[in-house]
Every structure is written in structure tokens, then in C-alpha cells.
């Protein structure tokens, strides 16, 4: 890959030199003059949400809901903090950034209204975290300032519905598992790098229980995809059970007993930090000792998990797609995020995963300005620029990701709870990831079945 990259770079340099030789001096002078004029260009209103001095973006998130108060509050908090940080460092495209938070309230109707509002008032949506964004008509048919049906630029944090995944103006930095080329919605990518690591470094003979979050079809599907991936990785399923967001700890009693009956060596609750904490605590109460790998995704990387699970959390493995906060001294971008949100006590996985789309938005805007000037900032130009960004790392917060091509990422790192703290176990070097292509496989899962 590096050799091809060097070859391509050399080819570009040779082509540039050849062009420089054959272009008349007056043409070169004209280009230089054009660049100077562009640099002196005064910003003006160019698009819905873009005035001479402001770029308005919307962050849509489920926050005020009685079912889960403050559910995704960290997402708008992060995008708003990013806006303040950007403005304190010169703004973007010669303008200040204004962040409009629109609460989707865990409601399909409120979510659709939020999209309509953003289309009318904002240049783009950034860091959106709404579980019921399943009607995309208003996003797809959003008209720009010229009256063209360009669509609403969207850089979401969380994308759960297949219809949203296929929106051509949407650029998720957490690329969905769904293989978009399959119209049947039954083919999925799944990360199994951590599962293979467990078999190689913990125990080759892993078999166990899997809990799937059953409150939403999308979250249950994610659990089924993980189970299929575990099978590919050589981890057998002893049993599978449904998890609901309102389940108290005693609901996990039969599953803890089942672990004992099967002598399970692996356990995953593909839900949230509370669910995993209750599973760990109930397993401790029931005297479960056979499990060698307690596996969880980034949902368990929270202070709440450590506090709620207590000493039962010891040994918990957590997969992360971003540089953990404990390693901020090794990554300036993570340190910047932590400082912007008011310290590590305010940092969260939902927060940093909303900060990452904001950085992608920044990069795409800068690319538009570099090629079109500060007054080339239109929705159409932004969408075109975003599609060309095929190696995005959020300044090193995440591993390389092809956001423009919506390619599912292969990078991960593993943490483990040791002495009540999250400690990196793989790769050993701080602020790094394992990005092998073999970490991801394709599986067939029928959510309807």
C-alpha cells in the first residue's frame, strides 16, 4: 500500500513538473493572481445556514425523554463545545460557527420535525444521535438556497436505520454494519478482531451467552450480527437472551444460572453499560466462576459502569474505536476534546463520537474553501468534497476510515478493567489500533427471522 502511495505521489509530482514546464508564464501568473484574489475574498451569504459571518449547523439528539432522561446529551454538548473551540481559534471559512441543538426526544415525529427545521435553517446536521431517524424523505428532498433538491448534508454520530444508511448526502463516521449494496438488508460487516484476540490470548475454547438489546429492531439486529461474527471467529453460542432498557438486576438471574449450567467461558451483553453491570453483579451473586472473557463494546467504557458494577467489573474487556481518555497525553486531539467539554469528568464515548463528525465537517469545509474559495460554500460543494475524503482519522482520535466511501472500519483497541480502572491491553502501544483487514468479516443475518 505504501509503495503504491509513493508511486502515485511521484506520478503526481512528475505530472506537475511537466505541466509547469509547458504552461506559459502568463498562465502561471494568472493562477497565482487568482489564488491571491481568493485569499482576499470577503465572505458573503452563499447558502441556507451560511451568511457573511456565520455557518449554522444543527445537532439532533434524543435528550429529553421520560424513558431515558438525558439519553444522548453528551452529543450536543460535544458539538456545542467544538463550535466554541473552533470560534476561539479563528472560525471556519472566514465565519463563526453557530450550533443549533434540536431535541428529537426519542420520537419519530420529533425527529422528522427536527430534520425539517434543520433543512430550513441550517447548512448541515452534525453529530446527530437519534434512534428514530427512519423517515429520510425530508433529508433527501431538502432544497438548497437556489431551489435545487440537493439534499441536506448530514454527518451523524449514530446511524441505525437502513434507509438513513443509504442517504447519499449522509457521511457517518461510525459506518453502519449493513452492506449497502444488498437490497435485502441481510448482509452485514462485523468486527471480529477482538474475538480472535480472545481465542489466541485468553482461551481457545470459548463458548457462551449473548444478550441482545431488544427494545429496538436496529439494536437487536446488531446483537444478531455479533453472534454470527462470533461463530465465524470460533466462539460457540450456548444461549441467547433478550435485554430491555428497563430490566432490573433480578432479570439477569436466569441468565447467570444458565452460565453456570453450561460452564460458559464467554459472555456478552450487547446493550448498554447498565445492562452489563447488572449481568456482572448477578453473576457474582450466583457464584459464576467459569467465564474467562466478559466482552463489551464501547457502551461499557463509562464511569457509571465501574461505579454500578463495583468489584464485579474486574476483568471486563471493552472494545474501543477511539483513543481512550486515559491516553490523552499521547493524542493532542483527545486532550483538546477533554478540555473543551470541561474536563475528563464530562468526557464520554457519546461525546467524543460526536466530536469526531464535527472534525469531519471541518475537514470537508476546508476542502471546499481550498478549491472553491470561502464563497464556494454550498451544500452541493460540501457533499461533493465529503465524498472524496477516503482517509479520515479525526486528527488521530480514530484509526483510518473511508468516510467518503462509507467503508466499514477495521480498527479497534482493547481495554480491560484492572484495579477498578480501564487499562489498555492491546495493542500495547498507547494511542494505536489494530487495523488489519482480517478483523472484519461479512455475515448473513435476517432481522425479520
Residue 69: pLDDT band with limits 50, 70, 90: confident
CA atoms within 13 A on the CB side of 15: 6
Distance CA 378, CA 47 (A): 5
* Mean pLDDT, residues 126-132: 94
Q: What is the pLDDT of residue 6?
A: 33
Name the DSSP letter for residue 166.
Answer: T
Helix (H) or strand (E) holding 23: none
The answer to whether the beta carbons of residues 317 and 296 sit under 8 Å apart is: yes
> β-pairing, 187-191 with 154-155?
unpaired
- Whether residue 10 has pLDDT greater than 60: no
In this structure, what C-alpha cell is assigned to residue 295? Answer: 466482552
The answer to whether the beta carbons of residues 296 and 329 sit under 8 Å apart is: no
Q: Where are the alpha helices (DSSP H) in 202-347?
A: 217-233, 253-262, 273-285, 303-309, 332-340
3-state class of 384 per DSSP? helix
Residue 24: pLDDT band with limits 50, 70, 90: very low
Q: What is the pLDDT of residue 449?
A: 63
Burial grade of 274 (CB within 10 A; 0-12, 13-18, 19 or more): buried
Could you write out the DSSP letters of every residue in 228-248? HHHHHHTPEEEEEEEE-TT--
Name the DSSP letter for residue 344.
Answer: G
Q: What is the pLDDT of residue 216?
A: 82
Third-level CATH fold of 54-174+329-386: Rossmann fold (3.40.50)
pLDDT single digits (tens) 403-415: 999 999 999 999 9
Percent of the chain predicted with pLDDT > 70:
91
217-233 vs 193-201: helix axis angle to the nearest 10?
Answer: 40
Distance CA 20, CA 13 (A): 10
pLDDT single digits (tens) 188-213: 999 999 999 999 999 999 999 999 99
Q: What is the pLDDT of residue 83?
A: 98
The residues, ordered by sequence, that sit 6+ positions from 70 with a Cβ below 8 Å of its Cβ are: 63, 64
3-state class of 4 per DSSP? helix
The two domains 54-174+329-386 and 187-320+410-444 share their CATH topology (first three levels equal): yes
Residue 40: pLDDT band with limits 50, 70, 90: confident
Q: For residue 82, which of 99, 70, 94, 67 has the smallest C-alpha distance? A: 99
Q: What is the pLDDT of residue 13?
A: 28
Distance CA 205, CA 198 (A): 10
Q: How does the average pLDDT of the chain come out, rounded? A: 91
Q: 427 preceded by cis ω (within 30°)? A: yes
Distance CA 378, CA 358 (A): 17
Residue 33: pLDDT band with limits 50, 70, 90: very low
Instruction: Match 471467529 to its residue by C-alpha cell.
Output: 233
Instruction: Match 426526544 to its residue by C-alpha cell.
Output: 105
Residue 159: pLDDT band with limits 50, 70, 90: confident
CB atoms < 10 A from the CB of 348, how many?
A: 22
The CA-atom distances, in angstroms, between 372 and each of 93, 149, 366, 380 are 11, 21, 10, 12
CATH number attached to the domain at 187-320+410-444: 3.40.50.2300
For the ranges 154-163, 260-269, 374-383, the lowest mean pLDDT is seen at 154-163
CB atoms < 10 A from the CB of 264, how many?
A: 24
Distance CA 116, CA 119 (A): 5
The answer to whether the beta carbons of residues 56 and 98 sit under 8 Å apart is: yes
Break the chain into its structural domains and give their ranges.
54-174+329-386, 187-320+410-444
Residue 14: pLDDT band with limits 50, 70, 90: very low
The answer to whether the beta carbons of residues 104 and 111 sit under 8 Å apart is: yes
Q: What is the pLDDT of residue 67?
A: 77
The residues, ordered by sequence, that sit 6+ positions from 189 with a Cβ below 8 Å of its Cβ are: 177, 178, 179, 408, 440, 441, 442
In this structure, what C-alpha cell is assigned to residue 404? Answer: 467518503
Amino acid at each position: 500500500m505504501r509503495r503504491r502511495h509513493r508511486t502515485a505521489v511521484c506520478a503526481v509530482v512528475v505530472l506537475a513538473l511537466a505541466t509547469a514546464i509547458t504552461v506559459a508564464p502568463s498562465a502561471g501568473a494568472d493562477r497565482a493572481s487568482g489564488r491571491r484574489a481568493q485569499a482576499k475574498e470577503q465572505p458573503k451569504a452563499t447558502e441556507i445556514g451560511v451568511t457573511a459571518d456565520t455557518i449554522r449547523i444543527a445537532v439532533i439528539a434524543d435528550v429529553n425523554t421520560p424513558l431515558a432522561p438525558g439519553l444522548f446529551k453528551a452529543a450536543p454538548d460535544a458539538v456545542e463545545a467544538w463550535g466554541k473551540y473552533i470560534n476561539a481559534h479563528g472560525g471556519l471559512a472566514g465565519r463563526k460557527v453557530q450550533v443549533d441543538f434540536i431535541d428529537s426526544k426519542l420520537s419519530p415525529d420529533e425527529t422528522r420535525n427536527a430534520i425539517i427545521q434543520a433543512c430550513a435553517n441550517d447548512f448541515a446536521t452534525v453529530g446527530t444521535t437519534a434512534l428514530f431517524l427512519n423517515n429520510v424523505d425530508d433529508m433527501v428532498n431538502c432544497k438548497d438556497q437556489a431551489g435545487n433538491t440537493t439534499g441536506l448534508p448530514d454527518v451523524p454520530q449514530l446511524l441505525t436505520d437502513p434507509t438513513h444508511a443509504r442517504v447519499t448526502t449522509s457521511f457517518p463516521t461510525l459506518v453502519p454494519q449493513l452492506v449497502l449494496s444488498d437490497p435485502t438488508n441481510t448482509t452485514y460487516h462485523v468486527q471480529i478482531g477482538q474475538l480472535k484476540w480472545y481465542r489466541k490470548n485468553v482461551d481457545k475454547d470459548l463458548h457462551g451467552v449473548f444478550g441482545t438489546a431488544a427494545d429496538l429492531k436496529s439494536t437487536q439486529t446488531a446483537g444478531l450480527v455479533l453472534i454470527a461474527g462470533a461463530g465465524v471467529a470460533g466462539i460457540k453460542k450456548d444461549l441467547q437472551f433478550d435485554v430491555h432498557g428497563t430490566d432490573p438486576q433480578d432479570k439477569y438471574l436466569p441468565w447467570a444460572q444458565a452460565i453456570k449450567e453450561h460452564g460458559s467461558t464467554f459472555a456478552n451483553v450487547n446493550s448498554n453499560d447498565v445492562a452489563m453491570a447488572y449481568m456482572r453483579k448477578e453473576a457474582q451473586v450466583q457464584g459464576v466462576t467459569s467465564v474467562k472473557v466478559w466482552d463489551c463494546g464501547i457502551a461499557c467504557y463509562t464511569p457509571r459502569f465501574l461505579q454500578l458494577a463495583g468489584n464485579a467489573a474486574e476483568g471486563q474487556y471493552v472494545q474501543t474505536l477511539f483513543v481512550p481518555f486515559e491516553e490523552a497525553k499521547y493524542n493532542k486531539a483527545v486532550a483538546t476534546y477533554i478540555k473543551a467539554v470541561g474536563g475528563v469528568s464530562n468526557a464520554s464515548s457519546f461525546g467524543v463520537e460526536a466530536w469526531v463528525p464535527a472534525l469531519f465537517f471541518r475537514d470537508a469545509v476546508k476542502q471546499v474553501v481550498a478549491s472553491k474559495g470561502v464563497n464556494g460554500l454550498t451544500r452541493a460543494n460540501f457533499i461533493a468534497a465529503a465524498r472524496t475524503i477516503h482517509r479520515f482519522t479525526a486528527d488521530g482520535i480514530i484509526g483510518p476510515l473511508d468516510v467518503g466511501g462509507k467503508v466499514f472500519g477495521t480498527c479497534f483497541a482493547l481495554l480491560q478493567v484492572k484495579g477498578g480502572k480501564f487499562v489498555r491491553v492491546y495493542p500495547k502501544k498507547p494511542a494505536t489500533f489494530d487495523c488489519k483487514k482480517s478483523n472484519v468479516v461479512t455475515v448473513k443475518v435476517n432481522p425479520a427471522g
